[in-house]
Amino acid sequence: MTMENKQEVLIQEDEPVSPTGQYFSSSVLSVSILFVLESEITYNNELTMALLKNVFLPINPRFSSIMVMDDHGLKQWKKVHVKLEDHIKLPAFPSGLSPESYDKHFQYYMSKIGKEQHPLSRPLWEIHIFKYPTSNAAETLIFKLHHALGDGFSLMGALFSCFERAHDPSLPLTFPSLLRLESNSKYKRRSTWKRVPKFLSMFANTTADFISTFLKSNVDVDDRTPIRSGLNGVEFEPVTVSTVTFSLDHIKQIKAKLGGTVNDIIMGVIFYGTRLYMESAETCSSNASSTVLMLLNTRAFTRYHTVNEMAKANTKSSWGNQFAFLPVSIPKVANAETANPLKFVLKAHKIIKQKKHSPGVYLTGRFLDLIRKVGGPETTARCIYKTMKNSSMAISNMIGPIEKIAIADHPCKGMYFMVMGAPQSLTITMVSYMGKLRVAVGAQKGFIYHQRFNSCLEKAFEKIFKASVT
């Protein structure tokens, strides 16, 4: 670290980096989250600086800390003085181009910053202001946050604390309600004999989930397909990030006919759309083995916390990386074009229901913790890396505000996020906002044809919607 870049370390007690934070900042894994905000107007840099200083930094000490190694070889968060100007990036491109031309520049820039490593000499976050008009926004704001800071749930909650309602800042943001776990009292009212089948089913699901995760991190490798190149170092390949938007009202209409949840519907769409895309390549077998890693929030609660709530001692557990992933096989089909599209939704519902009743994610977490205690964080990180590399894609979803929001008096037209740095050719993320579900597709450039893939998702949704409401 040079004298110019070295930051003044403040004297305070260090905070240990969580085990998951160490995994995602290891020699084999460096994962970041890009959160994209599409603004209706151009950004005022002075207002943005004030927001960062007065609202963003106070949310959590990690935004003002760097990772350092202590005398025992363990990573700690060390509080430092933050120079905000070092964290704000303004990319330069030719002026006077069309929005379509800036769309291409924006895609290039997203791929570029997604692959760049965070400088370890300053806190692990950046803000990039793309001050050019694209097809979707007057200007675009990109928050780049290292995954070691926290998972999507805690980081999104922090960012939403910086926002306000565009039309009435005095009112809090509201979010779609989430289904909660069944009450234990319902289970207690059942007779002993009725509990037995449920227990056996849960035991079988737990065992299957744990074994599949263990095998995926060791010997079970997905086939090479049009969605999995299998290249070594695929995490360093350029990525094209594009999005598809679906109506939540239409998704709810499908849900009303088929039952289940919104997640079941969209997972069915992704399963079906992916098979349509794979089938479009003549070299792909209909029996090709392809696995999705589903990222699951393991918290006991299902809502974001405000800044004040995060500051309270009894809610500090809301922060950090508290998630797990489970491998799910993409349903196989002889002919995706002629298959019943509703079967993919029903299959997704069955799979997700099984996962909800399986403590496999917690058992897997215990297993990873055991590996960490025996072999250290780097060994565990290599295990996670292999699990991701051996699968075909990862899926993560978040909920966003119901009403239009603004950041520093800048109304937001749309939002989405993408996970960068994972050793996979395909990553899909979802976030809801103002009655729409934005699906972002991170595809290995030159290998996955993202426009065709997006068309397959749209085709899958259209066929599922038509089959369910007619």
Of 324 and 59, more confident? 59
Of 283 and 174, more confident? 174
For residue 26, the model assigns a pLDDT of 87
Q: What is the pLDDT confidence band of residue 393, given thresholds at 50, 70 and 90? A: very high
For residue 7, the model assigns a pLDDT of 41
> What are 33-80's pLDDT values in tens digits?
999 999 999 988 887 888 888 888 988 889 999 999 887 778 899 999
Q: How far apart are the first and last CA of the chain?
A: 64
Q: What is the pLDDT confidence band of residue 199, given thresholds at 50, 70 and 90? A: very low
Q: What is the pLDDT confidence band of residue 351, given thresholds at 50, 70 and 90? A: confident
**Lowest-confidence region among 315-319, 350-354, 455-459:** 315-319
For residue 152, the model assigns a pLDDT of 73
Q: Is the pLDDT of residue 318 over 80?
A: no
Residue with tokens 């039952």: 259
Query: Is the torsion defined by CA of 223, 229, 235, 240 positive or negative?
Result: negative
**Lowest-confidence region among 3-17, 112-126, 218-232, 373-387:** 3-17
For residue 10, the model assigns a pLDDT of 40
**Lowest-confidence region among 188-202, 206-220, 280-294, 421-435:** 188-202
Q: Rg (Cα) of the chain, in Å, rounded? A: 22
- Which long-range contacts (C-beta less than 8 Å, at least 24 apart) are formed by 277-285? 277/226, 277/227, 277/452, 277/453, 277/456, 278/225, 278/226, 278/227, 278/336, 279/335, 279/336, 279/337, 280/226, 280/452, 280/456, 281/225, 281/226, 283/226, 284/225, 284/226, 285/223
For residue 361, the model assigns a pLDDT of 65
**Across residues 361-369, what is the average pLDDT?**
72
* Alpha helix stretches (DSSP H) within 44-136: 45-51, 57-59, 99-115
In this structure, which topology does domain 15-165 adopt according to CATH? Chloramphenicol Acetyltransferase (3.30.559)
Of 5 and 51, more confident? 51
Q: Is the pLDDT of residue 312 over 70?
A: no
Count CB neighbours of 233 within 10 A.
8
Contact 85, 78 (CB under 8 A): no
Structural element, H or E, at residue 20 = helix 19-23
The two tokens of residue 344 are 């993919």
> What are 110-156's pLDDT values in tens digits?
999 999 999 989 999 999 999 999 999 999 999 999 999 987 777 88
Domains of the chain, residue spans:
15-165, 192-297+320-400+425-469
For residue 319, the model assigns a pLDDT of 61
Domains 15-165 and 192-297+320-400+425-469 share a fold: yes
Q: Write down the mean pLDDT value for the chain.
A: 82
> What are 255-268's pLDDT values in tens digits?
999 988 888 899 99
Q: Is the pLDDT of residue 84 over 70?
A: yes
For residue 185, the model assigns a pLDDT of 35
Q: Is the pLDDT of residue 217 over 60?
A: no
**Across residues 434-458, what is the average pLDDT?**
96
For residue 344, the model assigns a pLDDT of 92
In words, the CATH class of domain 192-297+320-400+425-469 is: alpha beta
Of 126 and 356, more confident? 126
Q: What is the pLDDT confidence band of residue 350, given thresholds at 50, 70 and 90? A: confident
Instruction: Indicate the pTM of the whole model.
Output: 0.85
**Across residues 239-250, what is the average pLDDT?**
96
**Across residues 404-431, what is the average pLDDT?**
94
For residue 408, the model assigns a pLDDT of 85
Contacting residues for 355 by C-beta, under 8 A, at least 6 apart: 205, 209, 294, 296, 326, 328, 361
Q: What is the pLDDT confidence band of residue 297, given thresholds at 50, 70 and 90? A: low
Nearest to 128 by CA among 60, 53, 36, 47: 36
For residue 69, the model assigns a pLDDT of 86
**Across residues 230-248, what is the average pLDDT?**
95
